[in-house]
Structure 1
Amino acid sequence: QETRNAIYSGPFVTAARKEFSNKEDSRLQKWGCYIHGSANRQEILETALKWVSRNNIEEYMQEHRLDDNINELRMYFNDVISWIEQTFDDVYPKMCGLDWGELYERFHNNPYDHVDVSRKVAELYNDDRVKDTKNVFEYVLGGCKDTKLLNVRVFDDITKRRVYDRQTKDAKEKGVSNCPLCAIGHDANKEKIWKLSEMDADHVKAWSKGGPTDESNCQMLCKTHNRAKGNR
């Protein structure tokens, strides 16, 4: 950011540095909950510019180089910080460094119950099946739909093999497909026996709806049906 400040030096940069690069500013502790870096290395300013410019910092600085105020930059930054604080009751370590500007753009118009949001975040943080807790916030803001964000612990190969063998044995005895959804269909796959490599492990009751990741809640589906089932 120091290089950019030199290239686009002028009243805008002077005012921006005064606002975001003062290491004695009492607001730094609050900002530090959500932003990596320090004021004296211009990293807070860089983040503020990234947010307001939608990642087009150079273009934004060129456009505003001769401005004698930073009203838009200050207002947008404060709006993002206020939105985070109003949406989440607690501060979590993995909040720091997320692209809050991008999340703000996507979600700030959605109505949220901060109590409900914080409850869901706490539950996911304490769920040992969730591998990527840094994505918990985006997952909750998005309505708890995209479980791929969380990298949820999946069924292991031994479990998948056992379930596959059991389903296949039962299917052959009944003369139907070993994919339960194919078996109740009306197309050519109604009696198809899929190979293990052609199937995916699926939560019978979706993980996001409380379904456990254990053998009792596992079924093997053909890849087409597993993709179609999604998070239902």
Structure 2
Amino acid sequence: RNAVYAGTWLSDAKRYFSRNGCAAYQIGNAYVDGSPIRQEYLETAIKWISKDSIEDYMGKHQHDENASPLWEYFQSVIDWVESTFTKTRPKMMKGVDWGSLYNAFGDADLDADEIERETARLVLDDDVTQKKGIYPYILTREEKHLNIRAFSDGMKLKVYEKQSGFCVICDDKFTIKEMEADHITPWSEDGKTNEDNCQMLCKKCNREKSAR
């Protein structure tokens, strides 16, 4: 890809993003996956600023005099991350799609202290199995990022037996394969993924409950 877009812009961009110990690595190594010399920092920065239109961006800027706007954008993203998520947790933070979050929330009025309190709480929550997802979740409130722990087969079987195979909503009887485990108190309301908070619903009732 780089050979196709060789020119003044790319040469200057490599100065910031593609050398051992380069400036982008110095400020971003806690947040960006990959290696500068394998062009992964440069690709990440272009992906962020272009909103995934990497080749369009490279083609448009191929003959620019320099890559200063890209470098300034990258610095803005990292500055925003560090001021928004004030405690650095490299194992969790490395590889998060920070550019997309910055593009969407960079101008939002955010309470960094409250964000850190929620981050710390979610780090300790065993039901959150995708810790990297804490950062997009805090901003978007989309639980899919957290990959909330599912009920085990053992839990499902115990609850199914307790209910004698009846769905607690429609009160019809089903085989266990026709049913799904559901949190009685949702995780978002501090409900835990344990036997006491599990109910077995038929698939139809569970879908309708989830849609509400």
Which TM-score applies when normalising by structure 1?
A: 0.79
Does the Cα contact within 8 Å between 1:206 and 1:231 map onto a contact in 2?
no
The one-letter code sitting in structure 1 at the alignment partner of 2:168 is P
Q: 1:151 aligned to 147, 153, 156, which one?
A: 147
State the alpha-carbon separation in 2 of the partners of residues 110 and 181 from structure 1: 41
Judging changes above 3 Å, is the alpha-carbon distance between structure 1 residues 149 and 230 closer, same or farther for their aligned structure 2 residues? farther
The one-letter code sitting in structure 2 at the alignment partner of 1:223 is K
Q: 1:135 aligned to 130, 133, 136, which one?
A: 133
1:180 matched to 2:168? yes
- Moved >4 Å (runs of 4+): 24-27
2:190 aligns to what? 210
State the alpha-carbon separation in 2 of the partners of residues 195 and 86 from structure 1: 52
The one-letter code sitting in structure 1 at the alignment partner of 2:93 is M
State the alpha-carbon separation in 1 of the partners of residues 98 and 30 from structure 2: 11
State the alpha-carbon separation in 2 of the partners of residues 165 and 34 from structure 1: 47
1:123 aligns to what? 121
Pairwise CA distance, 1:25: 4.5
1:75 matched to 2:55? no
Pairwise CA distance, 1:31: 0.7
Question: More deviation in 195-204 or 148-157?
Answer: 148-157
State the alpha-carbon separation in 2 of the partners of residues 231 and 204 from structure 1: 15
Pairwise CA distance, 1:44: 1.9
- Identity among equivalent positions (%) equals 41
Q: Deviations over 1:67-108 (max 9, x none)?
A: 113243223222221221121011121211222222323443
Pairwise CA distance, 1:215: 1.4
Q: Could you list the runs of 5+ residues in structure 2 that have no partner in the other structure? A: none
1:1-232 correspondence to structure 2 within 5 Å: 3-4=1-2, 6-25=3-22, 28-92=25-89, 93-143=91-141, 145-146=142-143, 148-168=144-164, 178-182=166-170, 191-230=171-210
Q: Could you list the runs of 5+ residues in structure 1 that have no partner in the other structure? A: 170-177, 183-190
Which TM-score applies when normalising by structure 2?
A: 0.85
The one-letter code sitting in structure 2 at the alignment partner of 1:17 is K
Pairwise CA distance, 1:53: 1.8
Does the Cα contact within 8 Å between 1:107 and 1:142 map onto a contact in 2?
no
Q: Deviations over 1:96-148 (max 9, x none)?
A: 122222232344344322112122222222222322212221222212x42x3
Q: CA RMSD in A?
A: 2.4
Does the Cα contact within 8 Å between 1:94 and 1:133 map onto a contact in 2?
yes
Q: Which has the larger radius of gyration?
A: 1
Pairwise CA distance, 1:49: 1.4
